Amino acid sequence: MFVDVRTGALCAGPPPTLSSAAGPWGGVLLEYHAAGGPREWNHLAPCDHLVVVCQRRPSSRSIVLDRQAVTVELRPGQIVFYPASIPFSSRTDDAGEYLLLALDPTFIRRAACDLLQPPDLVEWQPAVAVDDPVIASLAFALKQEMENGYPGGRAYGEILAAAAAASLVRNHATVHAPGPPVGEGLSALQLRRTLEHIHSNLAANIPLKSLAATAGISPFHFARLFKQTTGCAPHQYIIRCRLARARQLLMERSGSTADVALEVGFCDQSHLTTHFRRAYGVTPKEFQQAGGIHFSQ
CATH code, 48: 2.60.120.10
Residues 146 and 284 in one domain: no
DSSP state of 35: -
297 within some domain:
no
158 within some domain:
yes
Q: Determine the Cα–Cα distance for residues 184 and 240; give it in Å rounded to an integer.
A: 23
In this prediction, residue 134 carries a pLDDT of: 93
State the average pLDDT over residues 280-293. Answer: 77
Sign of CA dihedral 278, 280, 282, 287: negative
Q: Determine the Cα–Cα distance for residues 41 and 64; give it in Å rounded to an integer.
A: 10
180 within some domain:
no
3 within some domain:
no
59 within some domain:
yes
More confident residue, 293 or 190: 190
When divided into structural domains, the chain yields a total of 2
More confident residue, 153 or 182: 153
Distance of CA 185 to the CA centre of its chain: 20
Residues 144 and 198 in one domain: no
Distance of CA 281 to the CA centre of its chain: 28
Tell me the per-residue pLDDT of 41-97, one tens digit each, with 9 for 90 and over: 888 888 889 999 998 888 888 998 867 788 988 899 999 999 888 888 999 888 889
Q: Determine the Cα–Cα distance for residues 76 and 39; give it in Å rounded to an integer.
A: 18
Residue type, 125: Q
296 within some domain:
no
Q: What is the mean pLDDT of the chain?
A: 84
Q: Which helix (H) or strand (E) holds 219?
A: helix 219-230
Q: Determine the Cα–Cα distance for residues 177 and 123; give it in Å rounded to an integer.
A: 9
71 within some domain:
yes
State the average pLDDT over residues 124-144. Answer: 92
User: Residue by residue, what is the 3-state secondary structure of 17-29?
Assistant: CEECCCCCCCCEE
Residues 162 and 210 in one domain: no
Residues 133 and 198 in one domain: no
Residues 216 and 161 in one domain: no
Q: Interior CA angle at 237 toward 202 and 65, to 5°? A: 105
Is the predicted pLDDT of residue 296 greater than 70, yes or no?
no
In this prediction, residue 137 carries a pLDDT of: 95
Is the predicted pLDDT of residue 285 greater than 90, yes or no?
no
Residues 229 and 124 in one domain: no
CATH of the domain at 259: 1.10.10.60
Residues 60 and 198 in one domain: no
Q: What is the β-pairing status of strands 10-11 and 49-55?
A: unpaired
Q: Which of 149, 175, 201 is the last residue of a domain?
A: 175
Residues 82 and 216 in one domain: no
Is the predicted pLDDT of residue 292 greater than 70, yes or no?
no
pLDDT band at 146, cuts 50/70/90? very high
Q: Which of 150, 175, 200 is the last residue of a domain?
A: 175
pLDDT band at 117, cuts 50/70/90? low
Tell me the per-residue pLDDT of 218-262, one tens digit each, with 9 for 90 and over: 888 888 889 888 888 898 889 988 988 888 888 877 778 899 999
Residues 162 and 192 in one domain: no
Residues 169 and 214 in one domain: no
CB count in 10 Å sphere of residue 114 = 13
Q: Going by C-beta distance under 8 Å and a sequence separation of 6 or more, which residues neighbour residue 89?
A: 41, 42, 43, 44, 63, 64, 65
Residues 207 and 249 in one domain: yes
Q: Which of 175, 207, 231 is the last residue of a domain?
A: 175
Q: Determine the Cα–Cα distance for residues 247 and 8; give it in Å rounded to an integer.
A: 12
Q: Determine the Cα–Cα distance for residues 52 and 92; give it in Å rounded to an integer.
A: 14
In this prediction, residue 114 carries a pLDDT of: 65
pLDDT band at 150, cuts 50/70/90? very high
Question: Which domain, by its residues, includes 253?
Answer: 188-289
Residues 161 and 195 in one domain: no
Lowest mean pLDDT among 3-12, 168-177, 214-223, 285-294: 285-294
Q: Determine the Cα–Cα distance for residues 102 and 113; give it in Å rounded to an integer.
A: 19
pLDDT band at 140, cuts 50/70/90? very high
Q: How does 59-73 read in b/e, with b if 16+ C-beta sit within 10 Å?
A: bebebbbbeeeeebe
235 within some domain:
yes
